[in-house]
Amino acid sequence: MGKALKPLIIILFLLSIAALVLGITLFSQRKDIKDRNVTFEQGVVTIAGKLGVEKVDTEQLKQAGRMQGQLDVVAAMAVNRMEDLAQTKSDLDTTRTDLANTKNDLSATQTKLAESEAAVVQLNDTVAQKESDLVQAQGRIGECEQAKTGLQGQIGTLNDQLSAMSDEKQDLMDQIGTLEKALADTLPEMRKPPPTGLTGRILVVNPDWNFVVLDVGSEAGLGTQTELIVYRTDQLVGRVRVSSVQNQTAVAEILQDWQQQPLREGDHVLF
């Protein structure tokens, strides 16, 4: 009997040892599972807080049957956050595209601005040059105004001189008329026509008073009111009418209607 119990005792002892080892192992695993559950609960709570879940029932997380409800809430919130993140990413991509377009537009605007600034600088230089030219032109205008004033003064003086000369011419013409009348009264024979072929030469030409002085006179048979042909070489230049006669010279009026060219000293006259 004793021999039969001995193996049974050994078996029980071994079973006790195995149970003890299994208990120790199960205790260690239970502790690990409990630590894992605590870490899981803390992780779920942290994630829920990040996702905006205001409150998580940790008691339900400890119960396997009720844990899914809390996990579904966190998962739904995660899905919403993912959708928001996707929308945000899409908006960010759009913003980046808009930013790139804006950057390109800004670059183009800066290029145009640089070109505009260069054009403004060129225009400023042109304006400065025009202002300088204007100042010079105004200076020349001032000089011209002064010259104009001087010329107007000279014109006034010349007009006065011309008026005086006209008066003097009229006096001379009156004197010539008087002399012609006196000569006609004292020398009636001078009105006789000069001899055919009478020639002479112009000594003096006065275009302002429209008369010439001839180198022939009464001694050659020339009389007043005689018209003479003026020629140069073999060309007709014009005609003159004798207004006064001296012995060897005579004064003749230039007939404008017959004048072909301006008369000159040395031109020949012919009757």
The whole-number pLDDT of residue 85 equals 76
Return the pLDDT at 189: 44
Which pLDDT score is estimated for 153?
80
Nearest-angstrom CA–CA distance, 171 and 165: 9
| Cα 61 to Cα 45: distance, rounded to the nearest angstrom | 10
pLDDT in tens, 77-95: 677 777 777 888 888 888 8
Whether the per-residue pLDDT at 230 is higher than 90: the answer is yes
Considering the domain boundaries, does residue 231 fall inside one?
yes
Counting every residue written for the chain, the total comes to 271
**246: in domain:** yes
Average pLDDT, the chain: 79
135 or 181, which is more confident: 135
Which carries the bigger pLDDT value, residue 234 or residue 184?
234
Whether the per-residue pLDDT at 194 is higher than 90: the answer is: no
Closest CA to 196 of 162, 221, 215: 221
| Domain assignment present for 122 | no
Is 48 among the domain residues? no
Decide if 204 is inside a domain. yes
**Taking the CB of residue 260, how many other CB atoms lie within 10 A of it?**
13
Per the CB < 8 A criterion, the answer to whether 70 and 60 are in contact is yes
Q: Give the pLDDT of residue 77.
A: 66
Does a structural domain hold residue 249? yes
Read out DSSP for 19-60? HHHHHHHHHHHHHHHHHHHHHHHHHHHHHHHHHT-----HHH
**Worst-scoring range by mean pLDDT, 51-55, 68-72, 159-163, 172-176?**
51-55
How far is residue 145's CA from residue 140's CA, in Å, rounded to a whole number?
A: 8
Asked if pLDDT for residue 204 goes beyond 80, the answer is yes
The CATH number of the domain where 233 resides is what?
A: 2.40.10.340
Domain count across the chain: 1
**Cα–Cα distance, 30 to 50 (Å, whole number):** 30
- Among the listed ranges 74-83, 91-100, 203-212, which one has the minimum average pLDDT value? 74-83
Which domain, by its residues, includes 216? 193-270
Residue 266 lies in a domain: yes
Domain assignment present for 256: yes
User: Taking phi first (over 0 means left), then psi (-120 to 50 degrees means alpha), and beta for anything else, what does residue 52 get?
Assistant: left
- Among 59-73, 112-126, 145-159, 253-267, the range scoring the smallest mean pLDDT is 59-73
Give residue 48's pLDDT. Answer: 63
DSSP for residue 193: P
Please determine, for residue 72, whether its predicted confidence score (pLDDT) is greater than 90. no
Lowest mean pLDDT among 67-76, 125-134, 141-150: 67-76
